[in-house]
Amino acid sequence: MSYPQQPNAFPPQAGEPPLWAPLYGATIKQAVQRFFKKYATFSGRASRSEYWWWALVSLIVGIIINVITSTGTTTTASGSAMTGPGAVIGMILAVIWGLGTIVPSLALLARRLHDVNLSAWLILLVLVPILGGLAVLVMTILPSNPSGQRFDRPTGY
């Protein structure tokens, strides 16, 4: 026996949600794009996948910059380290990367804490040696909390 199709009260959305909303199940490409599109947006929420894909990309870029910097350092016959041109290039890249990503990284962390329904002011815990960083790490791992919707502010991105 066949039953008539009931209209879906909430039809599935085509494409990504708007930028002000979190993107659950984001791919690595989507996470990086949203990271740069929401460069200094501290309001709203970010899903775990948005946060952790960006963390992976940032880690990989950091490792590459460290490799460039360390291969540019040479050791003299007396055993002292000498900075070569590769190390200088690596240090310049590290400064550019750090300055270019510090604000959006803090904004992403703030949005991730909002998704867990916590205040972004908890970012200041990283100033507490060892335990503060560990506490923030644990908070970023927590699952999304529906009450975090209080941080959403739909805008006309």
Residue 35 forms part of a structural domain? yes
| Band (157; pLDDT cuts 50, 70, 90) | low
| Band (72; pLDDT cuts 50, 70, 90) | confident
Residue 156 forms part of a structural domain? no
Residue 3 forms part of a structural domain? no
Return the minimum-mean-pLDDT range out of 17-21, 45-49, 97-101, 132-136: 17-21
pLDDT of 12-46, one tens digit each?
Answer: 456 788 888 999 999 999 999 999 999 999 999 99
Residue 81 forms part of a structural domain? yes
Residue 13 forms part of a structural domain? no
pTM recorded for the entire structure: 0.83
CA distances from 42 to 85, 149, 151 (A): 38, 14, 10
Residue 21 forms part of a structural domain? no
Residue 115 forms part of a structural domain? yes
Residue 151 forms part of a structural domain? no
The number of folded domains in the chain is: 1
The mean per-residue pLDDT over the stretch 45-63 comes to: 97
Contacts of 46-49 spanning 24+ positions with Cβ under 8 A: 46/22, 46/108, 46/111, 46/112, 46/114, 46/115, 47/22, 47/23, 47/115, 47/144, 48/112, 48/115, 48/140, 48/141, 48/143, 48/144, 49/23, 49/24, 49/25
Residue 63: domain span: 28-141
